[in-house]
Amino acid sequence: MEKMNQALEKMKMIVGMEVDEEQQEEESSSSFAFMDDFNRNCTLSTKQSMLVFFNPIKFGMTFTMGNLLSLGSTAFLIGPKRQVTMMLDPVRIYATALYLASMIIALFCALYVHNKLLTLLAIILEFGALIWYSLSYIPFARSMVSKVMVACFDTEF
């Protein structure tokens, strides 16, 4: 019932009706408390945030599985036939091939080779391929990023 009253008070504020100041102060303090609790529960410890360096094999497997799930979810949203057609479009065929190959390499290094350094390099490759593949869906994004990178790393004066 309390949440219903809070929602009603928020709707009154949105519409422009007068709201009791006591309830408004209570509501704002409860929303700050909620955000404090949310931030406290969603922060990672140093060990958790450095999981990729402490255990790259586990991270590589979960990251690759997450990428496969994201591809599956977009196929679910737009349909598998349209997803494959878009992935095999001549504009992004090389980005798709690089992305899928990097996922296979990451899983191979994590599950078969069990070498932490190779798995870490495969994760970095997969992340770069993911960015390049994602940029292929934004018009002129890959050419812009290429030009910026060339400008940043050009050694000629």
| 58 DSSP assignment | H
pLDDT of residue 82: 95
Higher pLDDT, 84 or 3: 84
Does residue 15 carry a pLDDT above 70?
A: no
Same domain, 62 and 129: yes
Find the domain containing 109 and state its range.
Answer: 49-153
Same domain, 9 and 82: no
pLDDT of residue 111: 92
Place of tokens 């799930």: 69
Same domain, 23 and 95: no
Spatial distance between the Cα atoms of 155 and 146, rounded to a whole number of angstroms: 15
Q: What is the pTM of this model?
A: 0.68
Spatial distance between the Cα atoms of 113 and 124, rounded to a whole number of angstroms: 17
Q: What is the pLDDT of residues 39-55, one digit of tens each?
A: 777 776 777 667 667 78
Place of tokens 């496969």: 68
